[in-house]
Amino acid sequence: MTSQEEIDLARSLLAGEPDAFERFVQHFRSKVFRYSWLVCGQADDAEEVAQETLLRVFQSLDQLRDPERIRPWVFRIARNACLMQRRKSVFAPSEEISLDDTPQEAPDAGALPDFSLLQRELRAVLERVILELPPSLRPVVLLRDLEQLSTEETAQILDLSQDVIKTRLHRGRLAMRQKLDCYLNNRCVEDQPSPDATPLNAAERQTLHAEWRKAVVT
C-alpha cells in the first residue's frame, strides 16, 4: 500500500466507511507486528503489541487531526506499546548493547545497495540482520529504511534528536551492510522465515471494531 493509499484509508476510517475497518486492521496490524517483532525480538510479544496498538489507535482516533501523518502516528503508538511490553516481558534483555560495540565509520554512509531488491528477494535475511543490531539501532533502521519514514518523523516517534537518528542510521546501515555482504558472499546469515501475525480471533476483532464504531459515531 502506497503512502497516498494509507492516507485515503485513514480518511475512510475517520468517515466510518464500512470496509475501512477491515482494510486498516489488515494493513497496519502486519506492519506493527513486524516492527514489534524486530524491536522486541519475540513473536508472542509482537502479537500483544499489535493488538494493544490497534486498540489505542481506535480509542484515540479523535486525536488524528492530520490523516497524512497516519503512518508515523500509528508507529508512535506502537513504539510506546512496545516499550511497555518490553518492561514486563520475560524475553526482555537485562541490558542494551552499547553503541560503542558497533562500527562507527564507513566509506559510504548512504542507503544500502539495491535496497528495493533486497526487500523483495532477501526479506527474511534482511529481518534477521536487523534482529542482530543493537536494540538502540534496530527501530531507527526499521522506520527509516523499511517503512520509509523521514528523519524528522523517526525522531518524533522515538523521542530522539534528528542528529541522533542520523548517527544511529549511519551505524546501523554499516553493520547491516557488513552482514549482508557476508550473506551474499558466504551465506553466513541464517535465512529463516520471519513469523507472521496470527489471524485475529472473534473476540479481538469485536473489541477493536467496537472501539472504532464508538470513535466514529461520537
pLDDT per residue as tens digits for the range 20-31? 999 999 999 999
* pLDDT score of 40 more than 70: yes
* pLDDT score of 106 more than 90: no
145 Cβ contact list (under 8 Å, min separation 6): 111, 112, 115, 169, 173
| Higher-confidence position of 202 and 94 | 202
Integer CA distances (angstroms), 138 to 60, 143, 214, in order: 27, 9, 35
Separation CA 177–CA 163 (nearest Å): 21
Q: Taking the model in full, what pTM does it have?
A: 0.79
* pLDDT score of 114 more than 60: no
Asked which of 7-11, 64-68, 88-92 is least confident by mean pLDDT, the reply is 88-92
* pLDDT score of 129 more than 90: no
Separation CA 66–CA 53 (nearest Å): 18
| Higher-confidence position of 175 and 75 | 75
Integer CA distances (angstroms), 27 to 10, 31, 67, 170, in order: 11, 7, 15, 29
Q: Class of the 99-186 domain? A: mainly alpha
- Using an 8 Å Cβ cutoff, are 80 and 36 in contact? no
Domains in the chain: boundaries = 3-93+197-217, 99-186
Take residue 76 and report the three cell numbers written for it.
508512535
> What is the mean pLDDT of the segment spanning 132-143?
91
